[in-house]
Amino acid sequence: MRHTEFWARMESALGPGVAQFWADQQVLSALGGRTAVEALDGGVPPKAVWAAVWEALDLPVSER
């Protein structure tokens, strides 16, 4: 997964106005106590970050 696909999925799940804010602010234990943005900036693959976001948001399996 590329970063562009990650952000497209975020916007699809949360909306364009909320996705970036949520990714900047929501700390996820699955990412070692980091936000999605911190994890991406730290080199965590977007697919792994998306898996943590997917779980945290309790999204449907079809969006995994």
- pLDDT-derived band at 59 (thresholds 50, 70, 90) equals confident
Tell me how many degrees the CA angle 28-18-20 measures, rounded to the nearest 5.
Answer: 65
Assess contact for 19 and 13: CB atoms under 8 A: yes
Q: pLDDT, tens digit, for every residue of 6-49?
A: 999 999 999 988 999 999 999 999 999 999 999 999 999 999 99
